[in-house]
Amino acid sequence: MLQTATNQPLGEAPSQRKKRTAGSASIPNPMLRRLASPSTLRTRFLARHAYAHSRLAPPLARRASTLPPTIRQLLSAAEAEGTGTGEGAGASAGSAGAVEDGEGEVDGSGEGREVEVTGWVRSVRRQKRVAFAVLSDGSTRAGLQAVFGDPAGARALTNGASVRVRGRLVASPGAGQARELRVEACEVVGACDPETYPLQKQALPVDYTREYAHLRARTDEGGRVLRVRAAAARAVHAFFEGEGFVYAHTPVLTANDCEGAGEAFRIAGVPPSSSPTALTPASPTHDPAASTPTAPTPTPTAPTPASATEFFGRPAYLSVSSQLHLEALASGVARVYTLAPAFRAERSQTARHLAEFWMLEAEWAFARDVGGLCDVVEGAVRAVAGDAGVQGEVDAARLAGLVGGGRWERMSYTEAVRALEGAAAGGVRFAFAPAWGKALQSEHERWLAEALVGGPVFVTDYPAGLKPFYMRANDGGGGRQGTVACFDLLVPRVGELVGGSLREERVGRLERALDAHGLSKEEYGWYVDLRRYGGAPHGGFGLGFERLVAWLTGIDNVRECIPVPRWAGRMLL
């Protein structure tokens, strides 16, 4: 339970907690399976999502809070318990603890619970007999209005100053907020010079705030993006927990380029004097495995000139994807996923590309077909869109078609190209002419999602020449000759949001694919071993987290969907 400044409990009532816990405990632990029909899609995924939350929520509800409550927690608790009026949010303004009359005075006829709030001043408005300040600690979009019965108490306040305010939380008679804080004491913790503070205005263009990445979290949009990201991540973890997945931490440093596109950042070499050599012991500790009869004895060799400046004795890169490592983990723990940073040395200056971004990636063994992969992706995205934390920060109209409705549209690459060619013949102008065997451009992806379908659409079975080496080759039936078992999820305004595939589990075909892409069988020998030693059919996907945030919120550029963006030619902080 949360505690106020007077040690009075705030939060969920025990009776409410028992009722909620009892209601969710009856939901059985679901196992991953192909959904039976489109009509059951939403019900089953919401049930799984609720089940995961039911496992996580009771311990959190019982644990006493270590820190004082945030503004969001105070307002939520006041809403639940009717703080300040005894009647909840629906009480009349006349019974409030702080009521402004027509002359700008404060009527202290009511009493609310005493609380202490810390945060930053977002705005100050002074009148003859009363002053108002909006306080924010980033936990809620609206902040909290503080009312000073004596304007002199707000004299030292400026935009951006950090403060500690004590007062009573009461019902607000004004529009725009259900509660306000009647101030009894205010301390300026950190002053803010109004002459030089760069975020004085309430509404600032994104290209301006982008230059102040160190302060951007104080803006309305900067704080909202952080909260949406946090809520989306919680929803992701809850969804995959309910599906029986294990959350894995994958390496950021890697020896391979997963996509094989040469877009990996290479780790710079180190001076020879500090570079490790093959003759230098890796660790003074004893390795039990080295004493076993079957363990080969390592033979120290002198480093080659090429490796003399390589810290690891070989080239190393920042990871472009966790997929290959997840595949290794999924060969023993059948369902794994990660939410981790990825890095790509792309020089694209579009609204969809970053040099550093976050990827939700999942791999699972015994996946049967592309349709089953699409089911899981759709369920995960719907779970995020249906999360209460996300919905509290996003216009409801944007999410209306994502949580409910039937199964999202699916079409093959061949069908998509035919539709694009028909549109071009009918007068739709594309900068790049669509043709079978060519990659779909952003304009093609958006036309399919926005004009043709009017919502999310899965495009499957792309030509093998357009995709990486690891995707499973389709058998020749059904007009799929020369294609791979893959999909892209295209969404309005963004284009490609998710890419995934079945992975090639047949050793011979995988080795031929490595040859066709000019990749070393020696370097990828461990990857082939995953198939050689008890390999199983498997598949997975990768979702661009910033693109998901952009799609959910309606933000036009992914540079505004990450706290500190990096792109070609630009890196702050």
Q: Where are the domains of the chain?
A: 2-67, 90-197, 225-270+308-571
Per-residue confidence (pLDDT) for residue 3, from 0 to 100: 39
Q: Residues 6 or more apart from 279 whose CB is under 8 A from it?
A: 300, 301, 302, 303
Same fold? 90-197, 225-270+308-571: no
Domain range 90-197, its CATH number among 3.10.20.30, 3.40.50.970, 2.40.50.140, 1.10.3720.10? 2.40.50.140
Report d(CA 229, CA 223) in Å as an integer.
10
DSSP H or E stretch at residue 443: helix 442-446
506, 532 Cβ separation under 8 angstroms: no
Q: pLDDT tens digits for 48-102?
A: 555 444 444 444 455 678 999 999 999 999 888 764 444 433 333 322 333 344 3
* Dihedral of the alpha carbons of 547, 553, 555, 556, in degrees to the nearest 10: 60
Per-residue confidence (pLDDT) for residue 62, from 0 to 100: 52
**What tokens appear for 321 in the block?**
């994807």
Report d(CA 562, CA 567) in Å as an integer.
12
Average pLDDT value for the chain = 82
Adjacent-strand bridge partners of 253: 318
Phi-psi region of 307 (alpha: psi -120 to 50; beta: other; left: phi over 0): alpha
**What tokens appear for 563 in the block?**
């706290």
Taking 70 as the threshold, does the pLDDT of residue 322 lie above it? yes
Segment 266-283 shows an average pLDDT of 62
Return the exposure string of 145-173: e unless at least 16 CB atoms fall within 10 Å of the residue's CB, then b: bbbbbeeebbeebbbbbbbebebbbbbbb
Per-residue confidence (pLDDT) for residue 479, from 0 to 100: 65
Token pair 């390592």 is found at 298
Which of 259-268, 344-353, 529-538 is predicted least confidently?
259-268
Q: How many CB atoms lie within 10 A of CB 81?
A: 17
378, 385 Cβ separation under 8 angstroms: no
122, 137 Cβ separation under 8 angstroms: no
Segment 228-236 shows an average pLDDT of 98
Residue 185 in 3-state DSSP? strand
- DSSP code for 203: S
Segment 535-563 shows an average pLDDT of 96
Per-residue confidence (pLDDT) for residue 111, from 0 to 100: 59
Within its chain, how far is the Cα of 33 from the centroid?
Answer: 25
Per the document, the length of the chain is 573
* Dihedral of the alpha carbons of 108, 109, 114, 115, in degrees to the nearest 10: -60
Token pair 């820190």 is found at 67
Per-residue confidence (pLDDT) for residue 8, from 0 to 100: 38
Taking 90 as the threshold, does the pLDDT of residue 369 lie above it? yes
Closest CA to 453 of 480, 420, 430: 420
Q: pLDDT tens digits for 438-484?
A: 999 999 999 999 999 999 999 999 999 999 999 999 987 666 789 99
Output the 3-class SS for 125-162: EECCCCEEEEEECCCCCCCEEEEECCHHHHCCCCCCCE
Closest CA to 360 of 173, 542, 140, 143: 542
Q: Residues 6 or more apart from 246 whose CB is under 8 A from it?
A: 333, 335, 336, 337
Closest CA to 14 of 55, 56, 58: 58
Share of the chain above pLDDT 90, in %: 63
**What tokens appear for 510 in the block?**
């995988």
DSSP H or E stretch at residue 446: helix 442-446
Q: pLDDT tens digits for 528-545?
A: 999 999 999 999 999 999
Taking 50 as the threshold, does the pLDDT of residue 45 lie above it? no
Adjacent-strand bridge partners of 230: none
CATH superfamily of 225-270+308-571: Bira Bifunctional Protein; Domain 2 (3.30.930.10)
Segment 278-287 shows an average pLDDT of 45
Residue 93 in 3-state DSSP? helix
Q: Which of 10-24, 223-237, 311-325, 464-478 has the highest mean pLDDT?
A: 223-237
**What tokens appear for 389 in the block?**
């934390």
Helices (H), 331-440: 370-385, 388-391, 396-403, 413-425
Which amino acid makes up residue 140?
A: T
Per-residue confidence (pLDDT) for residue 202, from 0 to 100: 74
Taking 50 as the threshold, does the pLDDT of residue 282 lie above it? no
Within its chain, how far is the Cα of 122 from the centroid?
Answer: 27
Closest CA to 456 of 353, 555, 548: 548
Report d(CA 121, CA 118) in Å as an integer.
10
Closest CA to 391 of 399, 381, 383, 380: 399
pLDDT-based confidence at 262, cuts 50/70/90? low
Per-residue confidence (pLDDT) for residue 5, from 0 to 100: 38
Q: Which of 9-23, 184-198, 280-294, 389-403 has the highest mean pLDDT?
A: 184-198
**What tokens appear for 564 in the block?**
């500190």
